[in-house]
Amino acid sequence: MKILSIRNLKKYFPIRSGVFLQVSGWVRALENVNMDISQGETIGIVGESGCGKSTLGRTMVKIYEPTVGSITYCDPSGEIHDVSRNIDRRVEPTFRKDVQMIFQNPFDSLDPRMTIRDTIREPLETHRLFASRKMMDERIAELLMKVGLYPEYAQRYPHEFSGGQRQRIAIARSISVNPRLLICDEPTSALDVSVQSQIINLLKDIQRDTNMSLIFISHNLDVVHHMSDRIMVMYLGNVVESAPATELFDHPAHPYTQALMSAIPSWNPKDRKLGQVKLEGEPPSPINPPTGCPFHPRCPHRLEICRRVKPEAAEVGEGHSSACHLHSV
């Protein structure tokens, strides 16, 4: 069963200038994104910094309102609701409970004035999941143990914990309401490598126990491959390739994906791909994106048509799509 369906999603941020803060331009963060998230599925989203990964996650969880396009939500009873902009008051509590997010920086995502107990208790009280404080405290202790922390830590404040422990607390808060979809916005990028593996394994264990869906946003291809059933590659706000994780790694079709794969260092010199595909220059600005294919200024295989016409996503294999003119040559 699908939890969220996204169609032709665009997100533009206004650039304001002058005395009266008039709109002088737009940051085109997302361009025509389409995706479906099914129950129990993990979708990885990868790309360079500034490609729109985090904006997509925040738009899905409705921190940002989409500029154009639709987001439809399927509630536990199977009824479909349009949550693109103004969510129906009867649907909003269920949607907010079902779709949760873990943010990138654990040092910013926790309120320093609240104890860990109050931090985790807040969503439980908001959604009225327990009838008494005693039941809430038992649930908080259970959550802390689930994420590998002692229940006694509930009395402490965020500044008393390390980065990895804070991220575990953020995970405990996010899963406290038993969401059906958890959006993880680079949850391990600010952590040590040893702690990263603990957080990744923790998320996989929670997903296995609850059949929760995951959106895993990262620039680390190895981590995304380990976590994901399907991977979407983004460039300048566009999804340039989408495929099952193993298929994408074995047969990358888009030149940008090939360049990303070429940038992965390998411990085995015989498998070394580092630098086989080199990119020219810097990514264009989302304020003034290039005409035609967004990747053509840096593409080593660009054609004349790439400068003029933006390619549509086309099937290049079973469940494998790529937006590139090279596939039609």
Q: How many other C-beta atoms lie within 10 A of the C-beta of residue 29? A: 23
> What amino acid is encoded at 324 in this protein?
C
d(CA 215, CA 272): 29
* pLDDT of residue 158 exceeding 90: yes
Q: pTM score, two decimals?
A: 0.91
Q: How many other C-beta atoms lie within 10 A of the C-beta of residue 217? A: 27
Per-residue confidence band for 267, with pLDDT thresholds at 50, 70 and 90 = low
> Are the C-beta atoms of 13 and 22 separated by less than 8 Å?
no
* pLDDT of residue 269 exceeding 70: no
Range name among 35-44, 99-108, 115-124 with the lowest pLDDT average: 99-108
- Per DSSP, helices labelled H in 131-264 are 133-146, 163-175, 193-210, 221-227, 245-250, 255-262
> Are the C-beta atoms of 87 and 62 separated by less than 8 Å?
yes
Q: Between β-strands 314-317 and 320-322, what pairing exists: parallel, antiparallel or unpaired?
A: antiparallel
pLDDT tens for each residue of 284-294: 899 999 999 99
pLDDT tens for each residue of 169-220: 999 999 999 999 999 998 887 777 778 888 888 889 889 888 999 999 998 8
pLDDT at 109: 86
Which of 30, 40, 42 has its CA nearest to residue 6? 30
d(CA 268, CA 308): 41
> Are the C-beta atoms of 215 and 203 separated by less than 8 Å?
no
> How much is the mean pLDDT over the chain?
90
